[in-house]
Amino acid sequence: MTAKILDGNALAQKLRADFKTRAEALAAQGERPGLAVILVGEDAASQVYVRNKVKACEAAGFHSENIIFPADVAPQAVLDKIALLNADPKIHGILVQLPLPRNFDSDAVLEAISPAKDVDGFHVENVGALMQGQPRFIPCTPYGVMKFFEEAGIDLKGKEAVVIGRSNIVGKPMAMLLLHAGATVTVCHSQTKDLLFHTRRADVLVAAIGRPRFVTADMVKPGAVVIDVGINRLPDGKLCGDVDFEQVKEVASAITPVPGGVGPMTITMLLGNTIEAAERALNR
């Protein structure tokens, strides 16, 4: 079997066209969606992510602000800026690019963002709402993954879903979304005793590990849907996922590639969350 390739670029393009239309409608009513992205320090990968986010906002007709602080900025200065953005009616979404420098209390920074503008969905209030099945902002990466299932018409009810990874930004919210969609969910991590036992019975397997080509064909049930969240840079500079794509595509029924799979969907759902925030602001 050769798997159907779930094309993240095509899906992202389709969703972004819809977001652009909605952004124009909001702008016409005086509520142009606005996103502020805060970057602290000069981490090269973070700079690329932030640039891409700002570019995507501009292409979708959003107002965007890119706020860059030097690595040695006092944490209070960042908190003060967040307070200003919380009160700024032009801004509907605030995102702080992680990781922050070591002297920062990242949790305190994320909690300082108004829950109504927390488009990353990392504020405890939004995490709690998601847990209760009443999400307000769904973290962008797992949100993007759910869009693949929707687009491909994959019904998750009753499916065995296995998530490898339990981070707050991917693994845990992913598991929660799959659970709410009716799947029976297992979350695996570095202390899982028999990973193979779990992955081999997964109808839906999500890999969010951060280890290049970790998931091999023998770990995958024939016909499974495999979602590769991983982004790893190889010594030759090329990107690869957590799944051995070439092998696994011969076993799975559907698979996301890296690059061109989950990656483009993450920024897309950031735009989606910002639109939702602006629509809520208009309705208030």
- List, by residue number, the catalytic residues: 53, 97, 120
Q: Could you tell me which stretch among 10-18, 29-37, 164-172, 273-281 binds ligand NDP (CB under 6 A)?
A: 164-172
The residue (of 151 and 279) whose beta carbon lies closer to ligand NDP is 151
Instruction: Evaluate whether 20 touches 272 at the Cβ level (below 8 Å).
Output: no
Q: Does 232 bind ligand NDP (CB under 6 A)?
A: yes
Tokens matching residue 224: 């499974």
Site string for ligand NDP, 189-218 (x = CB under 6 A): xxxx--x------------xxxx-------
User: Which distant-in-sequence residues (6+ apart) come within 8 Å of 217 by Cβ?
Assistant: 244, 247, 248, 250, 251
The residue (of 112 and 219) whose beta carbon lies closer to ligand NDP is 219
- What does the CA dihedral 46, 50, 53, 57 come to, rounded to 10 degrees? 180
Instruction: Evaluate whether 35 touches 62 at the Cβ level (below 8 Å).
Output: yes
| Beta strand residue intervals within the chain, DSSP E | 4-5, 34-40, 63-69, 93-96, 160-164, 184-188, 204-207, 225-228, 232-233, 239-240, 254-255
Q: Does 138 bind ligand NDP (CB under 6 A)?
A: no
Q: Does 166 bind ligand NDP (CB under 6 A)?
A: yes
The residue (of 26 and 205) whose beta carbon lies closer to ligand NDP is 205
Tokens matching residue 255: 């698979």
Number of residue whose CB is nearest ligand NDP: 167
| Residue 211 CB, nearest approach to ligand NDP (Å) | 6
Among 173, 230, 257, 272, binds ligand NDP (CB under 6 A): 230
Among 50, 54, 57, 169, binds ligand NDP (CB under 6 A): 169
Place of tokens 């998601």: 130
Return the CA Rg of the chain.
19
Positions touching ligand NDP (CB under 6 A) are 141, 164-167, 169-171, 188-192, 195, 208-211, 229-232, 262-263, 266
